[in-house]
Amino acid sequence: MPKMSVNTLAKLLVCFLIPLGVLMMPIDAIPIDDLTLIQHRLLAIFLLAALLWVLEPVPVF
């Protein structure tokens, strides 16, 4: 198994900890009116996908 650099590990942690933080937040703390539980989870999944895309901690190839 190849060793990961500190930079890649930091990017992975950011990509997973921010959506996890959104999931831990109460629904009332998010400033979107009438947010359902499904929409709350979908927001966290979308945030995870966007962060993985932008930060690219996992190479595409």
pLDDT digit string (tens) for 5-41? 999 999 999 999 999 999 999 999 999 999 999 999 9
Q: What confidence score (pLDDT) does residue 41 get?
A: 97
The model's pTM: 0.85
Q: Are the CB atoms for 44 and 23 separated by under 8 Å?
A: yes
Query: Above 80 in pLDDT, residue 60?
Result: no
In a domain, 1, yes or no: no
Residue 14 lies in a domain: yes
pLDDT at residue 24, rounded to an integer: 97
pLDDT at 59: 80
Cα separations (Å) of 57 from 5, 18, 21, 27, 61?
10, 14, 19, 29, 12
Tally of domains in the chain: 1
The dihedral sign for the CA sequence 31, 13, 41, 25: negative
Residues in the chain: 61
Would you state the pLDDT for residue 3? 84
CA dihedral (24, 25, 28, 31) positive or negative: negative
Within a domain: 31: yes
